[in-house]
């Protein structure tokens, strides 16, 4: 029964995030906010809503291990599992010149988090620094996108996708507001059920909440990224699938952990500096040589390596849990 509640909470959480993104962005467009600004702010941040609400709910319940574990596990899953499965299904062609700045930001975000979490506590100041990173990253994206537009150059595929994800602005203000309210309520209720069920699963398994956070909870909140990346690759949008995953990892650290730590202090499990953060950083660092050594063509070999990394990570987490 616990698993049914867990899955049900996850489904409601994901649907709530979708309602939030679609209707908040539609309201902004209806108010004549430029589509580019909507895509790079409301939609970009809204796609991290499931991770954000799950971590916030865990934090409010005093479960910092789940809150932090969710982000760490999601970041490893995004590269190890989502990217691994994507390039197993279809060879992905990556332009390193377009991706490298985002890769460097992902590494920077990982290092900043590692330094902040070393003392096993994430407080309001730590959260504020991470949120500042989110604002600078999104602001930088906006500047680059405007330069592309002014020069008549094609936008980054990931930016175009964010703009396409905006909702239908032809609906009435009343309907959009109602759907937005429903989305927020679904996010709150879904995250509550999801996190409460995860804690019960930890008790049933006889493992720590940290183990459940970096495995079951993280996998659950990564499902949308896995599905989106596989779909993008199957449609031939290779740059989009990689760009979305790297962008998701950046916002998980800067936005999700930043907002969560700012709302309430987070106690970090001792396993994080000893084990988890290094796997997260390693998975991120591995992406650059993978792309450069294969000349931008990530195929089955890279997929096998990344999936092996994820399986090894989960196995060691459970072993030490």
- Cβ atoms within 10 Å, residue 207: 15
Instruction: Give the span between the Cα atoms of 244 and 249, in whole angstroms.
Output: 9
Q: Total structural domains in the chain? A: 1
154 burial class (0-12, 13-18, 19+ CB within 10 angstroms)?
Answer: exposed
**Which residues form the domain of 143?**
63-171+206-320
The model's confidence at residue 164, banded by pLDDT at 50, 70 and 90, is: low
| The predicted structure's pLDDT at residue 310 | 95
Assess if residue 47 is contained within a domain. Answer: no
| The predicted structure's pLDDT at residue 275 | 85
The model's confidence at residue 167, banded by pLDDT at 50, 70 and 90, is: low
Assess if residue 102 is contained within a domain. Answer: yes
Q: Which residue has the higher pLDDT, 178 or 224?
A: 178
Instruction: Give the span between the Cα atoms of 321 and 226, in whole angstroms.
Output: 25
- The CATH number given to whatever domain includes residue 289 is 1.20.1420.30
Instruction: Give the span between the Cα atoms of 61 and 59, in whole angstroms.
Output: 5
| The predicted structure's pLDDT at residue 158 | 53
Assess if residue 236 is contained within a domain. Answer: yes
Q: Which two tokens stand for residue 241?
A: 């699938």
pTM: 0.85
Assess if residue 10 is contained within a domain. Answer: no
Q: What is the mean pLDDT of residues 252-273?
A: 90
Is residue 279 pLDDT above 90, yes or no?
A: yes
The model's confidence at residue 149, banded by pLDDT at 50, 70 and 90, is: low
| The predicted structure's pLDDT at residue 274 | 79
Assess if residue 240 is contained within a domain. Answer: yes
Assess if residue 44 is contained within a domain. Answer: no
33 in Cβ contact with 221 (< 8 Å): no
Highest mean pLDDT (candidates 53-62, 181-190, 235-244, 287-296): 287-296
Is residue 277 pLDDT above 70, yes or no?
A: yes
Instruction: Give the span between the Cα atoms of 223 and 30, in whole angstroms.
Output: 30
Q: Which residue has the higher pLDDT, 160 or 209?
A: 209
Assess if residue 15 is contained within a domain. Answer: no
Is residue 129 pLDDT above 90, yes or no?
A: yes
Percent of the chain whose predicted confidence (pLDDT) is above 70:
86
Assess if residue 303 is contained within a domain. Answer: yes
| The predicted structure's pLDDT at residue 134 | 94
- Cβ atoms within 10 Å, residue 247: 26
Q: Is 90 helix (H, G, I), strand (E, B) or coil?
A: coil
DSSP secondary structure letters along 205-274: HT--HHHHIIIIIHHHHHHHHHHHHHHHHHTT-HHHHHHHHHHHHHHIIIIIIHHHHHHS-EEPPTHIII
């Amino acid at each position: 029964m616990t698993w049914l509640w867990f899955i049900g909470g996850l489904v409601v959480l994901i649907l709530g995030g979708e309602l939030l993104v679609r209707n908040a962005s539609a309201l902004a467009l209806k108010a004549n906010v430029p589509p580019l600004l909507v895509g790079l702010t409301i939609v970009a941040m809204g796609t991290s809503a499931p991770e954000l609400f799950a971590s916030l709910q865990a934090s409010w319940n005093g479960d910092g291990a789940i809150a932090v574990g969710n982000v760490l596990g999601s970041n490893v899953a995004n590269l190890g599992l989502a990217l691994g499965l994507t390039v197993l299904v279809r060879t992905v062609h990556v332009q390193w010149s377009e991706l490298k700045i985002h890769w460097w930001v992902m590494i920077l975000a990982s290092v900043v988090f590692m330094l902040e979490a070393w003392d096993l506590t994430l407080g309001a100041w730590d959260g504020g620094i991470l949120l500042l990173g989110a604002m600078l990253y999104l602001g930088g994206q906006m500047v680059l996108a405007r330069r592309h537009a002014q020069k008549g150059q094609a936008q980054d595929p990931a930016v175009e996708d964010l703009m396409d994800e905006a909702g239908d602005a032809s609906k009435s203000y009343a309907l959009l507001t109602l759907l937005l309210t429903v989305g927020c309520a679904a996010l709150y209720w879904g995250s509550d059920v999801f996190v409460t069920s995860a804690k019960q699963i930890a008790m049933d398994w006889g493992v720590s909440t940290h183990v459940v956070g970096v495995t079951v909870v993280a996998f659950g909140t990564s499902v949308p990224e896995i599905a989106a990346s596989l779909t993008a690759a199957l449609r031939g949008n290779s740059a989009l699938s990689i760009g979305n995953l790297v962008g998701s990892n950046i916002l998980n650290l800067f936005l999700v952990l930043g907002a969560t730590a700012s709302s309430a202090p987070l106690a970090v499990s001792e396993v994080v500096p000893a084990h988890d953060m290094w796997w997260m950083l390693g998975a991120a660092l591995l992406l650059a040589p993978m792309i450069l050594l294969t000349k931008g063509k990530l195929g089955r070999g890279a997929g096998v390596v990344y999936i092996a990394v994820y399986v090894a990570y989960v196995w060691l987490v459970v072993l030490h849990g």
